[in-house]
Chains A and B, each alone.
Chain A
Amino acid sequence: MRTTLTTANRAARGARSAGRHTTRTTRAVLAAVTASALALTAAGCGGGGEGDGKDGESGGEGKSAVTVDLPKLKGEKLQVAAVWTGAEQKNFKAVLDEFEKRTGAEVSFVPTGDSISTFLGTKIEGGQPPDIALLPQVGALKQFAAQGKLKPAGEEAQEQLEKNFSQGWRDLGAHEGKQYGVYFKAANKSLVWYNTAAFENAGVEEPGTWDEFLDTARTVSDSGVAPVSVGGADGWTLTDWFENVYLSQAGPEKYDQLAEHKIKWTDPSVKEALETLGELFGDKTLIAGGPGGALQTEFPKSVTQTFAGGDAPEAAMVFEGDFVAVNITSDTEAKIGTDAKVFPFPAVGDESPVVSAGDVAVALKDGKGPQALLTFLASTDAAEIWAKAGGFISPNKELDLKAYPDDVQRDIAKALIEAGDDFRFDMSDQAPASFGGTKGEGEWKALQDFLKNPDDVAGAQKRLEAEAAKAYKD
């Protein structure tokens, strides 16, 4: 699940800001000084506050009670790698800052660019992996775990996991019975966000089924606004389109089979799903900029063109996960709940699909530091920090829903927690990375070709199957 990948942000791939280090160090030192001062006071009072993370809490912001014990890690340096850029990166750094404050460790963030497994691959080969990586693809976790590149979660982290996460989310972070990952961030990827002004102008309501959705789109198109904004320059948005249609139309059993490549992509169910998707992609009046324009639209732009521009937006609806909220708040002036609203992905078959995804934190190095960070990321405290900032859904069931900044996000989070283990994980994220998670390759590329030429369903299926066969190695 990639989120904010603007072109400018790609710069971050290579350029790691050196300047940040100095401020980091000062802050860490300050935190350490405060911590030791507090510890001294505590010791003076007669209690041996041994390794008690609570001491590090400098009570400036009036945070809620601390729910996790962390060791002191003064002087330790940790590296965390994730795909996040822009607002997401900023919010995640706030979480890391809190960790620094509590433990005294120094944490640096390394942005990895689009292809995180390729990035980590080079780092592992070079013997310099980051301590913690947040993998957006569960498939990558399984592969790295199978290759023995990951370190299992320690006792403290497991304790937090058992306390805070349902079985389904825990299992997603495990491989062959061993717990490796902590699902820090989840995403509900079955949402359609819409511009309320465009809907009002066209006089349409939230559609419930795929046919209603197409009708709505046509009416909106007649009103002069392109109905659907597709961020086709990023292949992962297209895989999400397909997955939602497929899950709803072919059902969960088939979905699981296709995810494991037990049925081929040349299956009639895939054909049906692609044809359904073609009803939308094939009508150039329904896609903002037509298929050619959509292929040049990165995900962040697909959001901004829907919600920026006041009365005259370039598009009325954009499909993607809850994290669209981040882009709406940071890149546009639209207000979530009034200007921007959301409805569940329309039901193609009997029921609306619920496709979820998430970023799983894994440790690539042994040691107290990485384990402590893993533990922290599994805690409710960490989830709360980002939840407050918005654009974040936590699979942590202990997290108070009040932490979310608005009703829209609260409802999305509530739906996710209430769904319990009854969800389907993003199919492309379960696939080997070269098929489901690499720019310009595999499913990403095949679906981009399909968007360009939606009439050629058979050709798209053949390409998908050829790529899948190569990646699954069967």
Chain B
Amino acid sequence: MTTATAGGAATPGAPPPVTKKPVTKKGVTGTRAWIAACFLLPALVLLAALVVYPIGYSVVRSFFDTEGTAFVGLDNYGELFSDPGTRTALKNNLVWVIVAPAVSTALGLIYAVLTERVRWGTAFKMIVFMPMAISMLAAGIIFTLVYQQDPERGVANAVWTGVHDTFSESSAYPGARPRPNAGIEKTAGGSFTTGETVRAGDPAGLPLVGIPPAEVPKDAAQAVAAKPDGEQVTGTVWLDFTPGGGGEAGVIDRGEKALAGVKVEAVRGGEVVASAESGEDGTYSLPASASGAQLRLPGSNFTEAYNGINWLGPNLVTPAIIGSYIWMWAGFAMVLIGAGLASVPRELMEAARVDGANEWQVFRKVTVPLLAPVLAVVTVTLMINVLKIFDLVYILAPGATQSDANVLALQLYLLSFGTDAEQGVGSAIAVVLLLLVVPVMAFNIRRMRRERRP
């Protein structure tokens, strides 16, 4: 209507009457409202179809049951918060949101500040940033290999066992154990102790089994029975297993190997009274003072090879996956913070240095405060990113610990699709996720607005 009146009243060339307000039909930039609408329309339609409608539908769907026919009110939300699986997912999401962005940003900050001073900074930055070029899925697969339990295959455990084995000794016969029913019982510290006491002149055999054929030294001699000696306590330590079977338990058969280098202790009343090591033919001899004592094979003979950490086990699975996330995203944080750092006025730092501040003080009191806006942006961006984390967890967590590593987005997926899907509860999770993201988004928008103001 206003257009018509305006057109009718204003004669061409004549200045517009003062009473008319053309501002109402024109924007600040002088565009007509309907033209603006035309230009906005495609974007608005897409937004409505791809963002607003799905969100709206999810909200509606979350109030309906599994089939989507009956209204159930807030039941789905109730189920969501009472289901232990979803609660674990919520808890894990919380851990993720706190730890992953904080550590990534901190690492990014350190990288950015340090690379500024290194001559090969750009090369270093490139390498740290590279994981960003990989998809989450590929990163997940890379890390399933990194976290393999077997130190021969998993890098993480290869390093860890390498360090561990430097400080602890390996044993002669890992995993060996006395033949069952030979009267030798398991005692504290992985050791084995005979039930009966030994006497001088009555040789005591110590039959062991469970040694892999490859672990028995190739040149191991045939075991021999120790000679009775009235002055000494004697006996034989041997592998009581005839290759191919047929041997008699507890008896030194032909073809049964001597086990050299096994430590044998005589124990009386908890005190070690004597100790010896088995020789090449498997025999050992203890002084007569050991007579009447029990024989003990200390656990140091049998300590199993250290097998590293169970990275993807129930306790460590979430931290391990967060670790792989940080590997990917610390580079992203570094690049953004690096860009921020480049725009920080150098004079301020130089002034501080001239005033006698040391590097740490410059970092703490000048660099970090100046970078605070960038740090906030990076942290918040990562938080939004982390809230919807899915692929890494889906790929990395093995079946046995998937429920320990569960996060909301994964739980949403698992619940919503498949033959017995619960799309009502799935939608409820989606809504909860949205509600969790909203405050972070609001914060981000607020600060963007504030920055735009001069």
Residues on A lying within 8 angstroms of B by beta carbon are 7-8, 10-11, 13-15, 114-115, 117-119, 121-122, 125, 139-140, 143-144, 147, 200-204, 218-219, 221-225, 232-235, 285, 292-293, 295-296, 311-312, 432-434, 438-441, 444-445, 448-449, 452, 471, 473
In the complex the two chains form, what is the Cα distance from A65 to B137 in whole Å? 46
Main secondary structure of the interface of A (DSSP, over half): helix
Nearest A residue to B177 via CB reads: A285
Asked if B243 CB lies within 8 Å of chain A CBs, one says: yes
Q: With a CB–CB cut-off of 8 A, which chain A residues contact B307?
A: 293
Asked if B357 CB lies within 8 Å of chain A CBs, one says: no
Contact status A201-B177, CB under 8 Å: no
Known contacts A118-B414, A439-B402, A448-B399, A312 near B212 by CB under 8 Å: yes
In the complex the two chains form, what is the Cα distance from A232 to B413 in whole Å? 24
Contact status A201-B244, CB under 8 Å: yes
Q: With a CB–CB cut-off of 8 A, which chain B residues contact A222?
A: 179, 209-210, 240-241
Which of A119, A200, A295, A438 touches B400 (beta carbons < 8 Å)?
A295
Asked if B138 CB lies within 8 Å of chain A CBs, one says: yes
5 closest A-B pairs by CB:
A203-B245, A440-B402, A121-B417, A312-B214, A143-B419
Task: Return the CB mask of B121-153 against A: 1 if under 8 Å, else 0.
Answer: 000000000000001011001001100010000
Q: With a CB–CB cut-off of 8 A, which chain A residues contact B242?
A: 203
Q: With a CB–CB cut-off of 8 A, which chain A residues contact B287?
A: none
Contact status A441-B414, CB under 8 Å: yes
Known contacts A285-B177, A441-B403, A293 near B149 by CB under 8 Å: yes
Apart from A11-B137, A224-B212, list 8 A-B contacts with CB within 8 A. A121-B419, A203-B244, A224-B213, A232-B400, A432-B419, A434-B419, A441-B403, A452-B400
User: Which of B138, B177, B245 gathers most chain A CB within 10 Å?
Assistant: B245
Contact status B397-A440, CB under 8 Å: yes
In the complex the two chains form, what is the Cα distance from A321 to B398 in whole Å? 22
Contact status B245-A204, CB under 8 Å: yes
Contact status B418-A121, CB under 8 Å: yes
Nearest A residue to B249 via CB reads: A222
In the complex the two chains form, what is the Cα distance from A473 to B422 in whole Å? 12
Contact status B212-A235, CB under 8 Å: no
- Shortest Cβ gap from B92 to chain A (Å): 14
In the complex the two chains form, what is the Cα distance from A40 to B401 in whole Å? 61
Asked if B395 CB lies within 8 Å of chain A CBs, one says: yes
Nearest A residue to B135 via CB reads: A14
Known contacts A204-B245, A224-B209, A118 near B417 by CB under 8 Å: yes
- Shortest Cβ gap from A9 to chain B (Å): 10
- Shortest Cβ gap from A231 to chain B (Å): 11
Chain B positions 72-91 with a Cβ under 8 Å from a chain A Cβ:
none
Task: Return the CB mask of B300-319 against A: 1 if under 8 Å, else 0.
Answer: 00000001001011000000
- Shortest Cβ gap from A305 to chain B (Å): 10
In the complex the two chains form, what is the Cα distance from A246 to B285 in whole Å? 53
Known contacts A200-B244, A222-B179, A438 near B403 by CB under 8 Å: no
Which of B215, B310, B413, B419 touches A296 (beta carbons < 8 Å)?
B310
In the complex the two chains form, what is the Cα distance from A118 to B412 in whole Å? 12
In the complex the two chains form, what is the Cα distance from A441 to B403 in whole Å? 8
Asked if B219 CB lies within 8 Å of chain A CBs, one says: no
In the complex the two chains form, what is the Cα distance from A7 to B312 in whole Å? 13
Q: With a CB–CB cut-off of 8 A, which chain A residues contact B246?
A: 203
In the complex the two chains form, what is the Cα distance from A202 to B243 in whole Å? 6
Contact status A122-B399, CB under 8 Å: no
Which of B141, B210, B402 touches A224 (beta carbons < 8 Å)?
B210
Asked if B106 CB lies within 8 Å of chain A CBs, one says: no
Q: With a CB–CB cut-off of 8 A, which chain B residues contact A449?
A: 400
Which of A225, A285, A438 touches B418 (beta carbons < 8 Å)?
A438
- Shortest Cβ gap from B419 to chain A (Å): 4
Q: With a CB–CB cut-off of 8 A, which chain B residues contact A285?
A: 177, 210
In the complex the two chains form, what is the Cα distance from A218 to B180 in whole Å? 10
Nearest A residue to B85 via CB reads: A441
- Shortest Cβ gap from B254 to chain A (Å): 14
